[in-house]
Amino acid sequence: MHAREIQAKNLALFLVDQAKKTNLPIVIHGKAYKPDVEYCIGSYSTLVGFYVAEAGHRCYYVDPLADDTTDVVNDFNQPAVFLWAHNRKITYEYTGDQLDTQPYCKILPGSVIVDPWRKLPVDTQDVTVVHYGNTR
């Protein structure tokens, strides 16, 4: 549990750093504890959001199924730093072929997507994709 908290805090501080560099708000893509469910209790996303707030920044969430709608928005109509918290292919890979996660809202040009799964293509023209945690 302690390692999970340290990891979440480090990720939150990385998001805050990206927000400061780009002067963009922070949006977490997925609030529930995993894709396609509504339950937010125990969600890693909310833990990261807690540490973002502790660092003095506000964050929003986009998640159409979240049962906790605090700070959840349906759309985000400006560029932002997005944490790609949900990835269906990673979460449900054991069940066979899975569709890629489609964005829960439109991601506008100029945005930064922080992808801890390191699965989104980095050669996107309109947005910057950062493969978080890739030390190789």
Q: How far apart are CA 51 and CA 127, in angstroms?
A: 25
Integer-rounded Cα Rg, in Å, for the chain is 14
Task: Report yes or no on 53 lying in a domain.
Answer: yes
In a domain, 63, yes or no: yes
pLDDT in tens, 80-135: 999 999 875 555 455 555 656 678 899 999 999 999 988 888 877 899 999 998 66
33 domain residue, yes or no: yes
Using DSSP, state whether 29 is helix, strand or coil. strand
- Give the integer Cα–Cα distance in Å for 43 and 50: 11
- Mean pLDDT score, 40-69: 96
Q: What is the pLDDT of residue 101?
A: 63
State the residue range of the domain holding 122: 2-130
- The pLDDT, as a whole number, for residue 123 is 73
Q: Residue 83: its pLDDT value, please?
A: 96
Do the domain assignments include residue 135?
no
φ/ψ (deg, to 5) at 106: -70, 130
Number of domains in the chain: 1
| 46 within a domain of the structure (yes/no) | yes
Residue at 124 is within a domain: yes
pTM for this structure?
Answer: 0.89
pLDDT in tens, 57-72: 999 999 999 999 999 9
CATH number at residue 71: 3.40.50.720
